[in-house]
């Protein structure tokens, strides 16, 4: 996969490059600010951009804003946002366009290598990768939601993994369940939340996230 | 004074004496309207206080008093170079009654009134002896020039030679010159006493000056502290947190390479990686408590919207148009709302909440009202911490939470912007 990285801290930029190249990806550009990021994306048309939220010059959320600008210009450009902290509001910004190919993860998740590699594959393929912490923030704000209250503990677990963007087979592996039972849980969840059944995983994930985000 | 001004080399004393006499004399024309104001105010405010116009009358009377007191301060400064700082604090209440109450609660209002009531009698008491002494001295000094024109056959025997003979008149003149110095001293001292008294009543007291200095230093301390907290947040972000993530990345690669090797080594590396994750989670919690990053990123209104969205309650945020405020104020407002929302959800059993942020010049008001069952303990650890935070900014935090609700948390935070 051809990847552009935007990260201002040298230590982390190098770490990311090392991890990505070691796992068979190509880092076509590694920049340290938002302006260079936009230039690099326009120039290289990468399969994925991995962007730090906080970038110079303001060290606020320039990275996120640049990512949104890139997606406004090139709607399906896959972007994975990395951050030292996660804010549900930022996730909502990223998900607002209703398209896939977005991810929002804590930087710590990079160190769970398999999960991280799975996440970048997912985002590059048009899917979604939401940090578990964002998902738990979403659950917290929906704690009085009747639909969620009707879910069994197991269904809540499955919903949490769905919201992170995991595919059915990944959910099976994570919860050590048979594919049939996962599918049954999912159709129960969609029914209880009054969401339309859909075969397309990505679309289903986005519907779940939109539901939790509303 | 004439004695001294007539002496060719003008000493600083000469000017000072003239100015002192000018100060004492000009007190009378100010003292008369001041006295009239005092009498009229007592009568009018007294009568109207029985009606609804009481606050209006009081406000008008105090405004006039401030104008007159302003004249007095300028007089002290211009004539005697005795600057008197104005002690007034701005009136912030939205309506007449509130402003009248603020004025009534301000010592400066009553000190002004005391000065204006005293000025007329005091000016007479001070001016008359000073003027009499000055005129007598002037008269004596110039005796040879005029005394011959008013022969006084009834003068007592011990004065007669001074009055009726040329040498005697010259001696009188010398006596006048000798008197000039103590008389000038007396005039200067009396005026000085009067202006000091004016300064004591019309200026800021020692306590108020101290309080003002304390407020200024406190503002600086709070600002410095807020800047320091943001710096710590930045340092953690760029330093400790980044280093731990980088170490985690290295371990993740090592773990991957060890998969082919002995399983125990891979387990150790995995454990080390998890421990780093815990360290990061811990640091993140710490940073959020120090200075929430979203506040830096997007300002108060957006940070509050994020808080509202994350709350399980239906929260209405009215914070549109909130300008950028000092970091310490924004952060205090943020934590007030965060704590109030947590309490509303956890203890008050509320289902909805309304947040109002009102920014006016010099004051930020934060009001959080829930629909819960009330009974919050204002002395509880969370609210008490917020109160101390508000007080450090010179503000207040009030919690009203009657049994049965609703709970209203109101923070008033002064801000310099």
User: pLDDT per residue over B295-336, tens digit each?
Assistant: 888 889 989 988 888 888 889 999 888 888 888 899 999 999
Judgement on whether residues B253 and B396 belong to the same structural domain of the protein:
no
Are the C-beta atoms of B357 and B318 separated by less than 8 Å?
A: yes
What would the DSSP string read from start to end of B347-414? Answer: TS--SEEEEEEEEETTEEEEEEEE-S-----TTSHHHHHHHHHHHHTT-EEEEE--TT---EEEEEEE
Judgement on whether residues B358 and B224 belong to the same structural domain of the protein:
no
pLDDT band at B3 (very low <50, low <70, confident <90, very high): very low
Q: Which residues of B touch A112 (CB under 8 A)?
A: 252, 273
Element (H, E) at A80: strand A79-83
- Partner A contacted by B293 (CB < 8 A): yes
Q: Which pLDDT score is estimated for A69?
A: 94
What is the arithmetic mean of pLDDT over B225-232?
86
Domain count, chain B: 3
Share of chain B above pLDDT 70, in %: 97
Judgement on whether residues B234 and B176 belong to the same structural domain of the protein:
no
Judgement on whether residues B276 and B333 belong to the same structural domain of the protein:
no
What's this model's pTM, rounded to 2 decimal places?
Answer: 0.67
- Partner A contacted by B271 (CB < 8 A): no
Are the C-beta atoms of A86 and A106 separated by less than 8 Å?
A: yes
Q: Which residues of B touch A60 (CB under 8 A)?
A: 296-298
Judgement on whether residues B303 and B326 belong to the same structural domain of the protein:
yes
Q: Which pLDDT score is estimated for B8?
A: 42
Cβ–Cβ gap B253/A88 under 8 Å: no
B393-402: which pairs have CB atoms within 8 A and are 24 or more residues apart?
B393/B222, B393/B328, B393/B329, B393/B332, B394/B215, B394/B218, B394/B219, B395/B332, B397/B336, B401/B348, B401/B374, B401/B375, B401/B376, B402/B374, B402/B375
Q: Name the CATH superfamily, with its identifier, for domain A2-131.
A: Response regulator (3.40.50.2300)
pLDDT at B394 over 90: no
pLDDT at B1 over 50: no
Q: Which pLDDT score is estimated for B370?
A: 92
> Using one digit for the tens of pLDDT, what is the confidence trace for B9-55?
445 778 888 899 999 999 999 999 999 999 999 999 889 888 888 88
Tokens of residue B177, six digits: 């010159």
- What residue numbers bound the domain in which B144 lies? 2-204
Q: Which residues of chain A are in CATH 3.40.50.2300 domains? A: 2-131
Judgement on whether residues B215 and B183 belong to the same structural domain of the protein:
no
Q: Which residues of chain A are in CATH 1.10.10.10 domains? A: 142-213
Cβ–Cβ gap A113/B298 under 8 Å: no
> Using one digit for the tens of pLDDT, what is the confidence trace for B235-277?
888 888 999 999 999 999 998 888 887 888 888 888 888 889 8
pLDDT at B2 over 50: no
Q: Which pLDDT score is estimated for B11?
A: 54
What would the DSSP string read from start to end of B307-322? Answer: HHHHSSSEEEEE-TTP
Judgement on whether residues B88 and B100 belong to the same structural domain of the protein:
yes
Of B242, B276, B310, the CB nearest to A111: B276
Of B252, B277, B309, the CB nearest to A19: B252
Judgement on whether residues B7 and B151 belong to the same structural domain of the protein:
yes
Judgement on whether residues B314 and B392 belong to the same structural domain of the protein:
yes
Share of chain B above pLDDT 90, in %: 32
Q: Which pLDDT score is estimated for B374?
A: 87
**A142-213 topology per CATH:** Arc Repressor Mutant, subunit A (1.10.10)
- Among residues B264, B290, B316, the one where a domain terminates is B290
**How many whole angstroms separate alpha carbon B121 and alpha carbon B27?**
10
Low-confidence ranges of chain A (pLDDT < 50): none
Q: Which residues of A touch B287 (CB under 8 A)?
A: 84-85
- Among residues B239, B266, B290, the one where a domain terminates is B290
Q: Which residues of A touch B234 (CB under 8 A)?
A: 59
**How many whole angstroms separate alpha carbon B401 and alpha carbon B395?**
20
What is the arithmetic mean of pLDDT over B140-158?
76
More confident residue, B1 or B188: B188
List the helix and strand counts (H, then E) for chain B: 14, 5
Residues 6+ away with beta carbon under 8 Å from B205: B87, B107
pLDDT at B352 over 60: yes
Determine how β-strand B352-360 pairs with β-strand B363-370.
Answer: antiparallel
Of A14, A84, A87, the CB nearest to B294: A87
Judgement on whether residues B334 and B211 belong to the same structural domain of the protein:
no
On the question of a cis peptide bond just before residue B406, with omega within 30 degrees of 0, the verdict is yes
pLDDT at B4 over 70: no
Size of interface A-B (CB pairs under 8 A): 97
> Using one digit for the tens of pLDDT, what is the confidence trace for B156-201?
777 777 777 778 888 888 888 888 889 999 999 999 999 999 988 8
Q: Which pLDDT score is estimated for B210?
A: 84
Q: Which pLDDT score is estimated for B9?
A: 43
State how far residue A180 is from chain B, nearest Cα, in angstroms.
31
More confident residue, B279 or B216: B279
Judgement on whether residues B349 and B274 belong to the same structural domain of the protein:
no
- Partner A contacted by B284 (CB < 8 A): yes
ipTM (interface predicted TM) = 0.86
A 10 A CB-CB count for B227 gives 13
- Among residues B162, B180, B204, the one where a domain terminates is B204
Judgement on whether residues B221 and B160 belong to the same structural domain of the protein:
no
């Amino acid at each position: 996969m051809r990847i552009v990285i935007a990260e201002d801290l040298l230590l982390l930029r190098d770490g990311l490059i090392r991890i990505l190249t070691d796992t068979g990806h190509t880092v076509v550009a590694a920049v340290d600010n938002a302006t260079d990021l936009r230039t690099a994306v326009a120039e290289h048309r990468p399969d994925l951009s991995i962007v730090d939220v906080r970038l110079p010059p303001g060290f606020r959320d320039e990275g996120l804003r640049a990512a949104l600008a890139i997606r406004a210009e090139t709607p399906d450009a896959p972007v994975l946002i990395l951050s030292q902290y996660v804010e549900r509001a930022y996730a909502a910004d990223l998900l607002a366009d209703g398209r896939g190919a977005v991810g929002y993860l804590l930087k710590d998740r990079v160190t769970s290598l398999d999960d991280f590699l799975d996440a970048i594959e997912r985002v590059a393929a048009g899917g979604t990768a939401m940090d578990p912490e964002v998902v738990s923030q979403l659950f917290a704000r929906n704690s009085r939601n009747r639909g969620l209250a009707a879910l069994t503990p197991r269904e809540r677990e499955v919903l949490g993994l769905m919201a992170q963007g995991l595919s059915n087979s990944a959910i099976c592996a994570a919860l050590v369940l048979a594919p049939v039972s996962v599918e049954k849980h999912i159709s129960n969840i969609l029914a209880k939340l009054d969401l339309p059944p859909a075969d397309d995983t990505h679309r289903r994930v986005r519907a779940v996230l939109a539901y939790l985000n509303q | 004074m004439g004695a001294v001004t007539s002496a060719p080399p003008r000493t600083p004393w000469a000017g000072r004496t003239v100015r002192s006499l000018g100060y004492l004399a000009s007190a009378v024309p100010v003292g008369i309207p001041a006295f009239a104001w005092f009498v009229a105010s007592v009568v009018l405010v007294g009568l109207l206080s029985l009606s609804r116009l009481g606050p209006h009358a009081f406000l008008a009377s105090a405004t006039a008093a401030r104008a007159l007191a302003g004249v007095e301060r300028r007089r002290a400064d211009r004539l005697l170079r005795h600057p008197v700082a104005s002690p007034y604090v701005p009136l912030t209440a939205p309506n007449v009654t509130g402003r009248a109450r603020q004025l009534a609660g301000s010592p400066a209002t009553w000190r002004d009134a005391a000065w204006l009531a005293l000025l007329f009698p005091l000016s007479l008491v001070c001016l008359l002896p000073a003027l009499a002494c000055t005129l007598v001295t002037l008269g004596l000094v110039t005796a040879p020039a005029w005394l011959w024109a008013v022969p006084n056959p009834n003068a007592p025997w011990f004065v007669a030679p001074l009055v009726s003979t040329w040498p005697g008149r010259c001696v009188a003149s010398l006596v006048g010159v000798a008197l000039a110095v103590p008389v000038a001293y007396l005039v200067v001292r009396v005026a000085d006493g009067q202006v000091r008294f004016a300064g004591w009543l019309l200026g800021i007291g020692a306590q108020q000056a101290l309080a003002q200095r304390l407020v200024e230093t406190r503002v600086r301390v709070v600002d410095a502290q807020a800047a320091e907290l943001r710096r710590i947040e930045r340092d953690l972000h760029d330093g400790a947190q980044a280093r731990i993530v980088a170490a985690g990345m290295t371990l993740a690669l090592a773990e991957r390479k060890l998969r082919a090797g002995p399983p125990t080594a891979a387990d150790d590396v995995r454990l080390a990686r998890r421990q780093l994750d815990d360290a990061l989670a811990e640091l993140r919690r710490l940073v959020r408590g120090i200075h929430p990053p979203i506040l830096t990123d997007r300002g108060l209104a957006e940070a509050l919207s994020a808080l509202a969205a994350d709350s399980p309650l239906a929260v209405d945020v009215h914070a549109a148009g909130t300008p950028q405020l000092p970091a310490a104020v924004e952060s205090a407002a943020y934590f007030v709302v965060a704590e109030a929302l947590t309490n509303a959800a956890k203890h008050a059993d509320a289902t909805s909440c309304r947040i109002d942020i009102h920014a006016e010049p010099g004051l930020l008001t934060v009001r959080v009202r829930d629909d819960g069952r009330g009974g919050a303990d204002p002395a509880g650890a969370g609210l008490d911490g917020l109160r101390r935070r508000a007080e450090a900014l010179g503000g207040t935090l009030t919690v009203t939470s009657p049994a049965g609700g609703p709970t209203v948390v109101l923070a008033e935070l002064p801000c310099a912007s």
